[in-house]
Structure 1
Amino acid sequence: MTDEEIRNPEVVKTLTSDGSNIADWGKYTTRSIRSNGQSLQVHFYMNNATGKIDYETSDFKVKGVVNP
């Protein structure tokens, strides 16, 4: 990915804070899963060179309605 593709300078800053290159990061989505009758997907960034997954930025999210 490039920082232009992400379009969020704070996310780029966080992803590259360990010295990694933004080009090593990719955006991924899990398959839809059903939990308690709800359909959910997890969206996240992963560093393809190291396998590190981003849990820090606001772009790591669960998509779908999550009812308790």
Structure 2
Amino acid sequence: MASSPFREDGFLTDEAIRFSEVIQTVDKMGNPILVGEGGVGGLFRENGGNVADWGKYASERYASPQEPFEVHFYRNKVTGEILLFDYKIKFGG
């Protein structure tokens, strides 16, 4: 397990991003804040590129004093942009 997925400024490290994997494609997402409704709005559309290029990613697992965890985040597979909305830490496993 790697040491930390975060830089000192709180953003993900390049390594955490590079070794992350898609866990959910945009066609499986139902959150209108992210994907919009009726082809209008949504953070993915507002942040540029094709909405279909966005996905939910999970980092590799990291050690912590509690238990191992991974970081979930949204990323555009074409532009590499990461949406600074709704980072999640998932413990377990």
Give me the whole-angstrom Cα distance separating, in 1, the residues matched to 2:63 and 2:89: 12
Equivalent residues, number: 62
Greater than 4 Å deviation, 4+ residue runs: none
Q: Which residue of 2 aligns with 1:18?
A: 47
Contact 2:49-2:79 within 8 A present in 1 as well: no
Long gaps (5+) in structure 2: 1-24, 36-41
Long gaps (5+) in structure 1: none
Deviation for aligned residue 1:43: 0.6
Deviation for aligned residue 1:19: 3.2
Considering only aligned residues, what root-mean-square deviation do their CA atoms show, in Å? 1.9
Give me the whole-angstrom Cα distance separating, in 1, the residues matched to 2:68 and 2:84: 21
Q: Which residue of 1 aligns with 2:29?
A: 6
